[in-house]
Structure 1
Amino acid sequence: MSKIEKVEVLVTSPGRNFVTLRVTASDGVVGLGDATLNGRELAVASYLRDHVAPLLLGRDPARIEDTWQYLYRGAYWRRGPVTMTSIAAVDTALWDIKGKVAGLPVHQLLGGRSREGVMVYGHASGHDVASLIDDVARYRDAGYQAIRAQAAVPGLPGSYGVRKGAVYEPAATSLPDEQLWDTGAYLRFAPQYLGAVREEFGFDFHLLHDVHHRLTPIEAARLGRALEEVQLFWMEDPTPVENQDSFRLIRQHTTTPLAVGEVLSSIWDVQQLITEQLIDYVRMSVVHAGGITHLRRVFDLASLYQVRTGSHGATDLSPVSLAAAVHLDTTVPNFGIQEYMGFTDETGEVFRSGVTFSKGMLDVSDAPGLGVEYDDEAAARFPYEARYLPVARRLDGSVHDW
């Protein structure tokens, strides 16, 4: 019987920080798992290296479910992003190993294809309406069927979601960037620029928008109603998700679809949102929600209540996570959409992935496992750099949700 022989925690920064878990079995088969938690990467690296890796040595890599339960129930201190990201890394690496041993891609182990490709959405942004329109046109020309639109609120240069370079990356070096926020200005401006996008391009593509937890429930309800004319595919994270009853209030005032979940890490975090149909799309990701094993449980629960999937897929998830997500997306019956932002060329030097993009959709190769390889020599050229996500402050100086 094969046993886990080696567990390595790999930290590299090819354009941004990534933590990767590499598990090697006694028969030489290697599995990769993503363990990246943006702005708190080293906390997960330590959790894995100091607490989890010793528990894995000598275990049977084929016993994925038992290992998941062992790491979750056996830790006593359960849930939370650090713990669930660590478990996800192990789980994903074991699925990668299982696929390689079987000689099958992971989606075949999960039941096979439910679709030929996975629809994704890209991130268009601009410092004003005109530049946003230009960026939406760029995504349309690239074949995207769904596009998220964000524009800088006049007078607020740190507005969320506005790309500065080729790839949107909000994490900054040294200490957190402190950005100003004005809810009133945003509520006045967002319907204008989203309306301008529809006026320019029409309704033959999906339009998405991310509020990023910035509003109170009644403010979110007001925005949702104001945006009904532009027929959003979804309004994402309209209010902080800690008080899930608040989504009931939003539901009472608008029919704009709601998407929530990228900061949540377990099925219990979204249980009420799903079973009471307070959301339309659940946005939990493989890397932050306990891996393929646990996220599949979330998606199965969601399918019972006509809630569709819309997994987080920003650049703070490595190509290992993206591949795992697309394998799962390919199989589940209630798939909705997958976030996709692409990666820097430097990231492509470290991670070689079989995931391909065509006509607004992603597909995975039929290579065994996840189909991702890690290049140690390339990774060594990109040492870790401390980076933090921004902090938002209202105009009066008080801290607001970023």
Structure 2
Amino acid sequence: MDTALIVDEVRITPILIADPPLLNTQGVHQPYTPRLVIEVVTRGGVTGVGETYGDGKYLRIARALAQVLPGRSVSDLNGLFSLAAEVSGDPAGTVASVDAGGLRGVQTADKLRLSVVSGFEVGCLDALGKALGLPVHALLGGKVRDRVEYSAYLFYRWAEHPDGGEPSAGIGARDDWGAALDPEGVVAQARRFERDYGFRSFKLKGGVFPPDEEIAAVRALAEALPGRPLRLDPNGAWSVDTSLRVAHELRDVLEYLEDPTSGMERMAVVAARAGVPLATNMCVTTVPEIREAFRRGAVQVVLSDHHYWGGLHRTRELAAICRAFGVGLAMHSNTHLGISLAAMTHVAATVPNLDYACDSHYPWQTEDVITARHVFRDGRLEVSDAPGLGVELDRDALAALHRRWQADDGTMRERDDAAAMRKADPEWITPAVPRW
């Protein structure tokens, strides 16, 4: 074993990053959201970086995994999964339920561990690539495209947070997007995405307003941007009947309808009659969920997310399964920073059957922990050929965002869209599904 590739130290840094007041069916994003930056340092003096969710339940496993990783090779990626199970107190992987939070469908302890492992795997791949002088995509088998296409992620949103929260001076740029609460606002948002980033496909986060209002917004987008691929994602907020009605009314303009209703049973019923492909990042997020979904034809597009699936190698495994069953593949986005976007771009570059433009929240994020922000040109990102991920950690920014996390009283360390909404509406509770 090459001792230079042995892990010497793992640094875990929880941070809070500014997040705009983006609306979804659960509520609204808080002024800050937690992320976790992972640094894997080798005995050879190379540091690799990874990123994942930063809520306390992820942080606890990450800290435990960081304690036991030193002494192992950065190439031992398969070993991360058993280590994570051991440190979480479930070596057999038998614990079935845990509240992992977010709009992720049914939650399990395994899903929580996979999201932690993803950050460590990316950190190890970054370190390995730097040590060998190879880009991460080369470690995954080599790129099949030089640029990866991304889609504009449209949100209903307020002009500002209910409590006036905004990025602290000197850390991030001020959010200047303004409100988007009707079809005109959504179209204006899309036009800015097109002008500033060159995006050519557009996804609207729905489940916020009654379905007829969201139908009107998609229709307005189709009229303003004729021929452009459009997507709508209400995060499972609708009943079967509502899902079918929306699908029928928008089937001539939607590229796909994402998670219109909750659960495999309802999705299968809708898929059989919708007349438009159904996509998911809620009912198929782990391998055990694939069999039933594909057998029942419940989804026609899987939105992979390397955080959900446990890293880049397992994302490629998912892509191979989708290819074998003729199921489309896209990529889901969370509130990620530049490290995760780099990782996402590397794995996307290696997947032959990437059938759709990838999602990305990145244009909404005014803060980052890398020295040079990613730049979208014509809605695409160039695939870096530099060793590792091709990004450099901005230690001053990382320290500032960590100080914000340290100073927080605990209210922002756990993402809670319903709690943020209650600042505007004290009576708000997370709506039961189906909501409409």
Deviations 1:35-73 (A, max 9, x none): 215xxx122112111x21222121111222233354358
Q: Does 1:146 align with 2:205?
A: no
| Residue of 7, 12, 25 corresponding to 2:10 | 7
Deviations 1:320-346 (A, max 9, x none): 111111101111011122112225675
Q: CA deviation at 1:397?
A: 6.8
8 Å CA contact 2:316–2:347 kept in 1: the answer is yes
Query: Which residue pairs with 1:202 in the alignment?
Result: 226
Query: Which residue pairs with 1:25 in the alignment?
Result: 42
Query: Which residue pairs with 2:61 in the alignment?
Result: 47
Query: Which residue pairs with 2:344 in the alignment?
Result: 325
| Residue of 113, 116, 128 corresponding to 1:98 | 128
What amino acid does structure 2 have at the position aligned with 1:298? L
Distance 1:365 1:397, change over 3 A: closer
Q: CA deviation at 1:144?
A: 0.9
Query: Which residue pairs with 2:77 in the alignment?
Result: 64
Distance 1:341 1:399, change over 3 A: closer
- Superposed, which structure 2 residues align to 1:357-376 within 5 Å? 357-376=376-395
Equivalents in 1 of 2:115, 2:251: separation in Å? 36
SS in 2 for 1:283: strand
Q: CA RMSD in A?
A: 2.7
8 Å CA contact 1:284–1:312 kept in 2: the answer is yes
SS in 1 for 2:362: coil
Equivalents in 2 of 1:339, 1:321: separation in Å? 12
Higher strand share: 1
**Where do 5+ consecutive residues of structure 1 fail to align?**
152-158, 161-184
Distance 1:139 1:396, change over 3 A: closer
Query: Which residue pairs with 2:166 in the alignment?
Result: none
SS in 2 for 1:233: strand
8 Å CA contact 1:32–1:92 kept in 2: the answer is yes
Equivalents in 2 of 1:333, 1:277: separation in Å? 22
8 Å CA contact 2:50–2:340 kept in 1: the answer is yes
Distance 1:275 1:31, change over 3 A: farther
What amino acid does structure 2 have at the position aligned with 1:389? D
8 Å CA contact 1:355–1:363 kept in 2: the answer is no
Deviations 1:2-38 (A, max 9, x none): 221101111122324220111111111111111215x
What amino acid does structure 2 have at the position aligned with 1:370? L
| Residue of 255, 258, 261 corresponding to 1:233 | 255
Equivalents in 2 of 1:248, 1:150: separation in Å? 21
Equivalents in 2 of 1:19, 1:42: separation in Å? 10
SS in 2 for 1:324: helix
Distance 1:130 1:356, change over 3 A: closer
Distance 1:367 1:390, change over 3 A: same
8 Å CA contact 2:336–2:362 kept in 1: the answer is no
Query: Which residue pairs with 1:222 in the alignment?
Result: 245
Equivalents in 2 of 1:290, 1:365: separation in Å? 22
Equivalents in 2 of 1:226, 1:345: separation in Å? 33
**Where do 5+ consecutive residues of structure 2 fail to align?**
19-31, 95-108, 156-179
After TM superposition, the score normalised by the length of structure 1 is 0.81
Equivalents in 2 of 1:99, 1:111: separation in Å? 13
SS in 1 for 2:124: helix
Distance 1:327 1:236, change over 3 A: same
| Residue of 267, 292, 298 corresponding to 1:272 | 292
SS in 1 for 2:336: coil
Q: How many residues align?
A: 361
Query: Which residue pairs with 1:291 in the alignment?
Result: 311
Equivalents in 2 of 1:320, 1:198: separation in Å? 33
What amino acid does structure 2 have at the position aligned with 1:220? S
- Superposed, which structure 2 residues align to 1:166-205 within 5 Å? 186-203=210-227, 205=228
8 Å CA contact 1:261–1:270 kept in 2: the answer is no
8 Å CA contact 2:337–2:365 kept in 1: the answer is no
Stretch deviating more after TM superposition (216-225 or 20-29) = 216-225
Q: Identity of paired residues, percent?
A: 21
Equivalents in 2 of 1:208, 1:120: separation in Å? 13
What amino acid does structure 2 have at the position aligned with 1:63? D
8 Å CA contact 2:41–2:48 kept in 1: the answer is yes
Q: Does 1:111 align with 2:141?
A: yes
What amino acid does structure 1 have at the position aligned with 2:128? K
Equivalents in 2 of 1:352, 1:397: separation in Å? 40
Equivalents in 2 of 1:345, 1:256: separation in Å? 31
Distance 1:297 1:365, change over 3 A: same
8 Å CA contact 2:130–2:388 kept in 1: the answer is yes
8 Å CA contact 1:303–1:333 kept in 2: the answer is no
| Residue of 82, 87, 99 corresponding to 2:112 | 82
Q: CA deviation at 1:190?
A: 2.1
Q: CA deviation at 1:281?
A: 2.0
Q: Does 1:134 align with 2:188?
A: yes
8 Å CA contact 1:354–1:365 kept in 2: the answer is no
